[in-house]
Amino acid sequence: MSRPRVDPRVDNATCAALVAVLVVAFCAAPPAGAATWTAGSGFLEGRPGGVSGDGRYVVFTSEASDLVPGVTDGNAGPDVFLYDRVTDTVTLVSHAAGSATTAGDDESEEPVISADGAWVAFASWATDLVAGQSEGNTGSDVFLYERATGTVTLVSHDTSLATKTGDGLSQNPVINSDGAWVAFQSYAGNLVAGQTNGNSGEDVFLYGRTSGTNTVVSHIPAPTTTTGNSTSTLPAISSDGQRVAFESRATDLVASMTKSFADKDVFLYDRGSGTVTLASHVPAPTTTTGNGYSYRPAISGNGQWVAFQGTSSDLASMTKNNSQDNVFLYNCTSGAVTLVSHAAGSATATGDAGQAHGQAISSDGAWVAFDSQATDHVNGQSDTNSVYDIFLFHNDGSGTITLVSHLPGAPTTTANGTCSDPAISADGGWVAFPSGATNQVTSQSDSNGDDDVFLYERASGTVTLVSHVPAAGTTTGNGYSNDQVINGDGTWVAFTSMATDLVNGLTDTNGEEDVFLWGRDSGSVSPASASGGPGGEPVPALDPTGLALLAALLGLAGAWVTRRLAG
């Protein structure tokens, strides 16, 4: 029986299909040796320290020892790193003097980045970050890293020597927009020439990069080199470094000050005049504190507004309907204090229950985001979760409050989970927040049972899931996500996550939190605390062996086509 003749045209089509299958098979998934990401080997300590104004740079801490090629890390603790989104590279910030790839000899943490992305301030226990460094204490010190040169400078130094640390622990740095000024808190008593310590606790200082000197922020009226009679902490700095807000238990920072409650109050330091003003004061006299504690200041970029939280019931003409914290706003020009977390329909009555806190303020002070347990901040508010929700206060005289963490399509109904600690973009147009809700966005698929990160757009009132898997913008990652920070115009959000499925091609073997960066325009997530891989989504790649094999297969297919066409 003769064998049936095969139509060459069928062979050609079959061969073409075979070639197409081969190409797709080789390009759909990278073979061994292709560019993919691997999460850092170590635990991530805390939240990302911040993101630059343009979203290009993210600073963070990690215990990983493999984020930078050739790194030597013997401190067994966290180090500070800087991720560059454009080049997709990670740089070691807290490195030993003379070696950009050798970590300092002890742990580093609390990084903050200037808005221009050129400077990073951080705290460190390391004793070898600066050439000739000598130690005046056994705790942490504050340092300043310059991205352009990779150099590290000691901020909290002894007045006698720029490379000798102060005689007490220094920590919690904050930095202005161009890195010219760094405020921090310290136990040291020798950071300023002629310094006299009025207490045994921490005080707030301001470092000037150009002069290389420190100034006492939390000082008494005179002399200005004498610190207050109790602890001062938690500085917040304006964009130009002209003003520093801070909290303090001191009773002598302001002339004729009367303290009505034995706890923290909020103060404002002006670098130009060198004066300290009481922010958390009663309407009159303005040198008398409120009848409760005030703390956790957040200052607007323009330095005109300070938001803070506290328990006082007499900072403004107000009716207090709860027994816990409320959010307030201090006008640095008029000196007036406004109740932010008020009930709908009454600018002078607090919310009805629980507490309000977590305040974050826009650069111009026109918008204040906060979280609250109250159920009556918004007209018609329907609260379905009985926990914290995110709100946005408009500082335009109207005092209007908007529910941020609302149910899709229902702007006055809360989602079904708790939310806290919002982050607001400098322009006030965007609010990033973590939420445990499973119905924060339409068709949300959520199986992690914990927080995810979301972004609220003020103009449209819509909420978008940030920490989502690549294939579905409404499906959360398989682990919790939180600790979000946002850039100036809300186009980039950095966050930490335990999820292992936020990025295609990511190998995560550390079993701990990692840092990710989400782009609003693309809607995609990329890893910041990972090694290897190109910027953006993984790009399919062929190694030399794969290319050679594909070429051989294509050659065989071509020979087959030639023979069939010949007869």
Query: Is residue 544 pLDDT above 80, yes or no?
Result: no
Q: What is the mean pLDDT of residues 309-338?
A: 96
Quote the pLDDT of residue 47. Answer: 57
Alpha-carbon span 488 to 115, nearest angstrom: 8
The 10s digit of each residue's pLDDT in 472-496 is 999 999 999 999 999 999 999 999 9
Residue 10: its pLDDT value, please?
40
Instruction: Check residue 480 and give its pLDDT.
Output: 96
* DSSP character string of 277-290: EESSB-SSSTTBB-
Residue 24 included in any domain: yes
Summarised one tens digit per residue, pLDDT across range 496-524 is 999 999 999 888 878 889 999 999 999 99
How far apart are alpha carbons 210 and 151 in whole angstroms?
15
- The helix/strand/coil state of 59 is strand
Say if residue 353's pLDDT is above 90: no
Predicted local distance difference test score (pLDDT) of residue 541:
33
pLDDT score of 506: 86
Work out the pLDDT band at 44, boundaries 50, 70, 90: low
Q: Is the pLDDT of residue 539 over 70?
A: no
Residue percentage of the chain with pLDDT more than 90: 81
| Residue 239 vs residues 176, 177, 179, 182, 236: alpha-carbon distances, Å | 5, 5, 9, 11, 10
Instruction: For residues 59 and 113, give the distance between their C-alpha atoms in angstroms, rounded to a whole number.
Output: 7
DSSP 8-class letter at 70: T
SS3 of residue 564 by DSSP: helix
Q: Which of 539 and 531 is assigned the larger pLDDT? A: 531
Instruction: Identify the H or E element spanning 201.
Output: none
Residue 550: pLDDT band (50, 70, 90) is very low
What total number of domains does the chain contain?
1
**Is residue 559 a part of any domain in this protein?**
yes
Q: What is the mean pLDDT of residues 379-393?
A: 96
Please spell the DSSP secondary structure of 495-562, one letter per residue. EEE--S-SSTTEE--S-S-EEEEEETTT--EEESSEESS-SSSPPP---HHHHHHHHHHHHHHHHHHH
Is residue 554 included in any domain, yes or no? yes
Q: With respect to residue 567, please indicate whether it lies within any of the assigned structural domains.
A: yes
Residue 477 lies in a domain: no
What's the confidence (pLDDT) of residue 537?
Answer: 29
- pLDDT score of 508: 83
Residue 559's pLDDT is what?
Answer: 54
pLDDT confidence of residue 555: 54
User: Chain-wide mean pLDDT for the chain?
Assistant: 89
Q: Are 155 and 162 in contact (CB under 8 A)?
A: no
Whether 26 is in a domain gets the answer yes
When mean pLDDT is compared across 29-38, 211-220, 248-257, 272-281, the lowest value belongs to: 29-38
Q: Residue 509's pLDDT is what? A: 78
The residue that leads in pLDDT, 354 or 442, is: 442
Are 397 and 336 in contact, with CB atoms under 8 Å apart?
A: no
Query: Taking the complete model, does pTM exceed 0.85, yes or no?
Result: yes
542: pLDDT strictly greater than 90: no
Task: Answer yes or no: is 4 within a domain.
Answer: yes
Tokens matching residue 257: 């000050």
**39 or 526, which is more confident?**
526
Tell me, what's the pLDDT at 38?
Answer: 64
Report the pLDDT value the prediction gives residue 510, as an integer from 0 to 100.
84
In tens, the pLDDT along 127-155 reads 999 999 999 999 999 999 999 999 999 99
Q: Could you give the percent of the chain with pLDDT greater than 70?
A: 85
The pLDDT of residue 558 is 53
- The boundaries of the domain holding residue 25 are 1-34+541-567
Residue range 51-89, pLDDT digits in tens? 999 999 999 999 999 999 999 999 999 999 999 999 999
Q: What would you measure as the largest C-alpha separation in the chain, in angstroms?
A: 117
Structure tokens, 554: 């294509």
Question: Which residue is it, tokens 């335009």?
Answer: 396
Least confident of 18-27, 40-49, 329-338, 406-415: 18-27
In a domain, 129, yes or no: no
| pLDDT one-digit tens code per residue, 393-418 | 999 999 999 999 999 999 999 999 99
Which residue would you say has higher pLDDT here, 31 or 278?
Answer: 278
